[in-house]
Structure 1
Amino acid sequence: MDFSDVVATRRAVNYFDSTRDVSDALLREVVEMAATTPSSFNLQPWSLMVLRGEEEKMRLRKQAMGQAKVSEAPVTLIVLADRRGWAPGTPFAEKNFQEMIKAGAMTEDRRDWFAKACTNLYGTSEESQVAFATKNTGFFTMALMLAARSRGLHTHPMDGFSREGVMKEFNIPDHYWIPLLMAVGYFNEEKELAPPKWRKTYDEIVVTF
Structure 2
Amino acid sequence: MDFKDVITQRRSVNFFDPEKHVPESLLRELIETAAKAPSGFNLQPWSLIVLRDQEDKMRLQSLAWNQPKVSEAPVTLIVLADRDGWKSSHPFVERNFKEMVRAGAMQEEQYQWFTDACAGLYGSTEERQQAFACKNTGFFAMSLMLAAKDLGLDTHPMDGFDHDGVREAFNIPENYWIPLLLAVGYFQKGKELSPPKWRKTFEEIVVKF
- What residue in structure 2 maps to residue 40 of structure 1? 40
Which deviations, in whole Å up to 9, do the C-alpha atoms of 1:184-209 show, x marking residues without a partner? 00000110111111000000100011
Match of 2:182 in 1: 182
Kindly report the root-mean-square deviation, in angstroms, between the aligned alpha carbons of the 2 structures.
0.5
Q: Which residue of 1 aligns with 2:63?
A: 63
Within 2, Cα distance between the matches of 1:2 and 1:193? Answer: 22
Q: Pairwise mapping of residues 94-173 of structure 1 onto structure 2 (< 5 A)?
A: 94-173=94-173
What letter matches 2:160 in structure 1? Answer: G
Structure 2 CA distance for aligned equivalents of residues 127 and 34 of structure 1: 26
SS in 2 for 1:111: helix
Cα displacement string for residues 50-109 of structure 1 (whole angstroms, at most 9, x for unaligned residues)? 000000001101110101000000000000000000100211000100000000111111
Matched position secondary structure for 1:165: helix
Identity between Structure 1 and Structure 2 (%): 64
TM-score by length of 2: 0.99
State the TM-score, normalizing by the size of structure 1.
Answer: 0.99
Equivalent position of 2:13 in the other structure: 13
Q: Runs of 5+ in structure 1 lacking a partner?
A: none
Structure 2 Cα separation of the partners of residues 60 and 47 of structure 1: 17
Aligned-partner residue type, residue 179 of structure 1: P
Q: Distance in 1 between matches of 2:104 and 2:3?
A: 33
How far apart in 1 are the matches of 2:188 and 2:149?
15
Deviation at 1:164, TM superposition (A): 0.2
Q: Number of paired residues? A: 209
Residue equivalent to 2:49 = 49
The aligned residue for residue 26 of structure 2 is 26
Amino acid at match of 2:130: V
Identify which range, 2-11 or 179-188, moves more after superposition: 2-11
